[in-house]
Structure 1
Amino acid sequence: MKTSAIFFLGLIFKAVVAAPPTDSISYDSETYNVNLEDFNLYDYDENLTVDQGEIEIRTVLPTEHRQIHSSQQLPEDSDEEESTPKLIDGSTQGPTTPGVLGPQTNAGLPTCLLCTCLGNTVYCDDHELAAVPPLPKQTTHFYSRYNKIGKINKSDFANLSKLKKIDLTSNFISEIDEDAFGGLPQLEELVLQDNRIRQLPELPDTMTFIDVSLNKLGSKGIKPEAFKDMKNLHNLYLTDNNLDHIPIPLPEALQALHLQNNNIQELHQDTFCNTKDVTYARRALEDIRLDGNPVNLSKTPQAFMCLPRLPIGRLI
């Protein structure tokens, strides 16, 4: 019985000794001191050189994009443009047509590079131009003030059917071709102030505003009945010339007539009014300037009876 008890206790003692420890495990550092060189994970050759020209850097497209891209084909003639570029005047460029910045000027530059083009308006102010530059066909307003233009030719405004205003203030213009403005069906405003013009050419009947002040128009500088058919003419400025008469008949729509500083010596009774119709009234003409002329307005009072206001000028 004693022997059996001893045997049983021995079994319990062995079981306790064989049980795993419950305390923290202490590892031997020497067991895990392993060099990475012992692990031949990569077959690396430190003497290997890479040619920079063989390196290709690219962006990898997602799978779905790569599939779409690979299914598309480039056109055979990729160098050709699908459409011809439009010019500033709305036409297309061909071998003989002007560039996208307008036609070439005598200075070797396109008009819209030498000047300033905003919409259908061309500004060429103060560029020392000696001639009117070629204009785009769609030009409606043209300004070329403070230049050195000496003559206006027939070809300067040819085929510009949409041109409405021309302003050539302060140039050296002394000569204008007779039909220089005849081919402009929509021209309404013409400003030729401060030039050397001796003869005013024929103008379209569509005029509403004319300013030829500070020129050298003499007794024959304006043709008879030059403004008769301009039914929409509202402003006529002929200041500082050498005119010796008022260019009658004047359009009924005229609102302002400036003739100061000329050589007008006489005024007729039918210059503004209709002596045959005492009830006639010219209500639109409210601004008449005759100051600076050697004419005495008080000598012909009947000439102003039909006007809403008296002219400005010498009354003594």
Structure 2
Amino acid sequence: MRLRLLVGVSFFCCLSYSLARVQTGRPQAQAGRRGQKAVRRGSTPANDGHNGASIFFQSYKAVQEAKPNYNVIPGNTGHCVFQGITMFDKTVWSPKPCVTCLCTRGEVVCDETQCPVLQCQIKFQPVGECCPVCIDPVHDVSESSGDSPIPNDPSVLDAAVLHVPAQTTEHPRTGRYEVEVERHRKKDAERKRRKKQNKEAERRRKQMEERERHKEEELRRLWEEEEERAAAEEKRKRTEEHRRAEEDRTRRLEREQREMLRAFEEAAVKAQQRLRAEGGDDEEEREDAVWLRGDVFQMQPQVSAPADTPPLQTPPGPSEASEEEEGEEEEGREESERITYSLPQGCTISDVIVSCENAKLTSIPPLSIPELKSLNLQGNAITTIPAGAFNGILNLEWIDLGKNKLLSSGIDPQAFKNLKFLTRMYMDGNLLEEIPQGLPDTLLELKINENNLQEIEENSFEGLSSLVTLEMEGNLLSEGNVNPRAFTALKQLNYLRLSRNHFRTVPQGLPPSLQELHLENNLIEEISEGAFNQSTNINVIVLRHNRIDESRIAPLAWLNHRNLESIDLSHNKLHLVPSFLPKSLVHLVLAGNQIERVPGYVFAHMEPGLEYLYLSYNKLDGDGVEPESFFGTFQTMTELCLDHNHLTSVPTGINEMTSLHFLRLNNNNIRHIGEDNICDPMNDEDLNLVALRLENNLLDPRKIPPNAFSCVRSYSSIILKPQRIK
């Protein structure tokens, strides 16, 4: 304020002086510039003019008047041009400090102040002034005594300056100087105090951080020890449970084996009695007692029964038995020999399972074991299945004929007619060209993968109304050779695999009961509006490794499916996340496409909301994710994978996902992570992130804010290294 007042007064004085010079003529102005230097002195009484001894501060001591130095710049009458700027007449301005210019009648008159040489000990440059002034103190005995010289003794000066009473009225310039000194002193003291406080606060903060770090390490150590103890206890429990289960299984097998042996013994006794009654010889009796031809597989007799022990296993020793006992022992040995039966070479039996895997068989072996439940004939060279091939094992529930050389023409339609308990049949890796006929209606699972199926007719699955699982992967099927009514008979079908075929569209006529459909590794290019119209209960659709473009997906293809929760469209030809996704979708896989953008509100219509989203190995960059891209998933998203893209920053909206547990941002071009990019500092809920991956980016870990990962449960689950910077 004082500076503005001084500048205004100076401009007014210069204007008045210039007007006077104009009136008196230029010679007078020049004479005025050559005038003598004037000496100004002034003093201010310290007691408001009252008599008595007073202390005075001399404002100007031997200060000579500054010499004006006018430079005239000619110009047009009435206006002036100064440094390219036009000034009106009577305009006053200051182009630089201590220089004042006036526009008068087309000429520019500038006055430059020249500072005189001061003869004083204490000089002061007032703020806004051009020249320094003297502030030496003087003593005045009375008001009438006039100005008195001030002693040059420094001690007197200091005493005069330091011991002025509080009521003393100081000269404005002197007072301003002392006020400035005091203000700077106070500011310096305040600055030192604040610096000391900051150091103390920093020291306390470091101590608190150190205590928190030690506390966190201790908690982590205790947690790890508790986890180890829990894992050891769990392992011990599992081991104990496994041991008990093995013991129970062993006891059950032993019991079943004993029952089977008892049944065999009874059957052998009955056969022996029947043969004796018919009068057959010993050789014929032995042939009738043997059930299987080939290598002998003898069931182990009960150890506690002496009559069941073979002669070769009886230890030699003195015989104390009577002739009657010897006769009974001989009869028991004969019965034990009759119980033995043979299996084809390379086959084994365990409980109710016969395995002839890789036994080099060329036909179905003639088995006659009524109790048999499972038969494994995988890895042989069987080419035909004649009628009655399984007549001796009618209680079969499971047959594995995989990796043989079966032909459709080599399977008799009556081969499986009498298997009333068969529920599972595996025929993978054969040479079948069509679905075998005459399959039992009790089948629940049928696998015909890796064959040469070229056609599925309307009646191919006739009678299989109980079938739940059907697999026909790796064949020659397409929409042209699959009859739309072929699946009509499959009333209970839930699981269908048609991968590795030649479909260009989703096959028609899918059953309403279908819940899971696999069509990966085909040639599918579009999804029509009516592709899943009948399959209203479908829950999972797998379409990875096809040729689908987002523009070839009909808007109403699956939008209104209330049960469809999982779609796999990975490794197709998508360029953006498809719109019109099912409202009930929970799991979406879009990895391995060319996706460049996630449109805004593309997930907003889903209820309750998407939980798993995989966008790995795409082409998302900084502009590919909009602020509204993840709208609708903030409360439900659990796992989000954005790795192996071209992102330059953390996408907007991730910090609002309160249920997010797993986040992958590795292998991108992220250079910076803000304090609130991943974790919301305003969110006081429990820590939700379980795992976070950020490796192979362009991050400098030293520049990551300390609170950037405040929502991660454990810092050990954050992967930051390596980065692609030195």
* Normalised-by-shorter TM-score class: 0.5 to 0.7
Q: Secondary structure at the match of 1:148?
A: coil
Instruction: Write the mapping of 1:46-61 to structure 2, written as runs, cut at 5 A.
Output: none
TM-score by length of 2: 0.28
Kept in 2, the 8 Å contact 1:272–1:306? The answer is no
Residue in 2 that maps onto 1:260:
499
Q: 1:229 aligns with which of 457, 460, 463?
A: 463
Query: Which structure is higher in helix share?
Result: 2
CA–CA distance in structure 2, aligned partners of residues 180 and 91 of structure 1: 31
CA–CA distance in structure 1, aligned partners of residues 270 and 368 of structure 2: 10
Q: 1:213 aligns with which of 449, 457, 468?
A: 449
Kept in 1, the 8 Å contact 2:295–2:344? The answer is no
The alpha carbon displacement at 1:215 in A equals 0.6
Distance 1:189 1:291, change over 3 A: same
Q: 2:521 aligns with which of 286, 292, 301?
A: 292
Indicate yes or no: 2:408 matched with 1:172: no
The alpha carbon displacement at 1:143 in A equals 0.3
Residue in 1 that maps onto 2:573:
none
Residue in 2 that maps onto 1:111:
343
The alpha carbon displacement at 1:131 in A equals 1.2
Distance 1:132 1:84, change over 3 A: closer
Residue in 2 that maps onto 1:249:
488
Kept in 1, the 8 Å contact 2:360–2:381? The answer is yes
Q: Secondary structure at the match of 1:110?
A: strand
Residue in 2 that maps onto 1:125:
357
**Which stretches in structure 2 are left out of the alignment for 5+ residues?**
1-262, 276-283, 297-340, 550-726
Distance 1:192 1:268, change over 3 A: closer
Instruction: Write the mapping of 1:1-316 to structure 2, written as runs, cut at 5 A.
Output: 85-86=265-266, 92=271, 95=284, 102-104=291-293, 110-111=342-343, 114-138=346-370, 139-174=372-407, 175-202=410-437, 203-219=439-455, 222-244=456-478, 245=482, 247-249=486-488, 251-267=490-506, 270-273=509-512, 282=513, 285-304=514-533, 306-313=536-543, 314=546, 315-316=548-549
Q: Secondary structure at the match of 2:389?
A: helix
The alpha carbon displacement at 1:265 in A equals 3.7
CA–CA distance in structure 1, aligned partners of residues 417 and 443 of structure 2: 12
Kept in 2, the 8 Å contact 1:143–1:168? The answer is yes
Distance 1:243 1:123, change over 3 A: same
The alpha carbon displacement at 1:302 in A equals 4.8
CA–CA distance in structure 2, aligned partners of residues 87 and 240 of structure 1: 47
The alpha carbon displacement at 1:288 in A equals 0.6
The letter of the residue matching 2:494 is Q
Kept in 1, the 8 Å contact 2:477–2:501? The answer is yes
Summarize deviations over 1:70-99 as a string: whole Å, max 9, x none. xxxxxxxxxxxxx994569x9847648967
Summarize deviations over 1:43-75 as a string: whole Å, max 9, x none. xxxxxxxxxxxxxxxxxxxxxxxxxxxxxxxxx
Q: Secondary structure at the match of 1:122?
A: strand
CA–CA distance in structure 1, aligned partners of residues 267 and 498 of structure 2: 44
CA–CA distance in structure 1, aligned partners of residues 365 and 354 of structure 2: 10
The letter of the residue matching 2:452 is K
Kept in 2, the 8 Å contact 1:264–1:295? The answer is yes
The alpha carbon displacement at 1:289 in A equals 0.7
CA–CA distance in structure 1, aligned partners of residues 413 and 494 of structure 2: 27
CA–CA distance in structure 2, aligned partners of residues 255 and 168 of structure 1: 23
CA–CA distance in structure 2, aligned partners of residues 124 and 87 of structure 1: 26
Distance 1:286 1:225, change over 3 A: same
CA–CA distance in structure 1, aligned partners of residues 289 and 497 of structure 2: 42
Summarize deviations over 1:220-256 as a string: whole Å, max 9, x none. xx44233353232111011111123263215232221
The alpha carbon displacement at 1:310 in A equals 4.9
Distance 1:91 1:124, change over 3 A: farther
The letter of the residue matching 1:103 is L
CA–CA distance in structure 1, aligned partners of residues 424 and 476 of structure 2: 23
Distance 1:116 1:193, change over 3 A: same
The letter of the residue matching 1:122 is V
The letter of the residue matching 1:295 is I
CA–CA distance in structure 2, aligned partners of residues 201 and 126 of structure 1: 23
Q: Secondary structure at the match of 2:402?
A: coil
Distance 1:127 1:267, change over 3 A: same
CA–CA distance in structure 2, aligned partners of residues 97 and 184 of structure 1: 30
CA–CA distance in structure 2, aligned partners of residues 184 and 296 of structure 1: 42
CA–CA distance in structure 1, aligned partners of residues 270 and 450 of structure 2: 39
Query: Which structure is higher in strand share?
Result: 2
CA–CA distance in structure 1, aligned partners of residues 392 and 381 of structure 2: 24
CA–CA distance in structure 2, aligned partners of residues 264 and 303 of structure 1: 15
Q: Secondary structure at the match of 1:156?
A: coil
Distance 1:96 1:306, change over 3 A: farther
Kept in 2, the 8 Å contact 1:162–1:186? The answer is yes
The letter of the residue matching 2:365 is P
Kept in 1, the 8 Å contact 2:504–2:526? The answer is no
Summarize deviations over 1:104-131 as a string: whole Å, max 9, x none. 2599x92266411122211111111111
CA–CA distance in structure 1, aligned partners of residues 495 and 390 of structure 2: 28
Residue in 2 that maps onto 1:24:
none
Kept in 2, the 8 Å contact 1:101–1:112? The answer is no
Distance 1:84 1:190, change over 3 A: closer
The alpha carbon displacement at 1:260 in A equals 0.7
The letter of the residue matching 1:312 is V
**Which stretches in structure 1 are left out of the alignment for 5+ residues?**
1-82, 274-281
Distance 1:259 1:298, change over 3 A: same
Distance 1:137 1:268, change over 3 A: same
Q: Secondary structure at the match of 1:288?
A: strand
The alpha carbon displacement at 1:163 in A equals 1.2
Q: Secondary structure at the match of 1:151?
A: coil
The letter of the residue matching 1:293 is N
Residue in 1 that maps onto 2:669:
none
CA–CA distance in structure 1, aligned partners of residues 264 and 450 of structure 2: 47
Q: Percent identity?
A: 21
CA–CA distance in structure 2, aligned partners of residues 197 and 236 of structure 1: 15
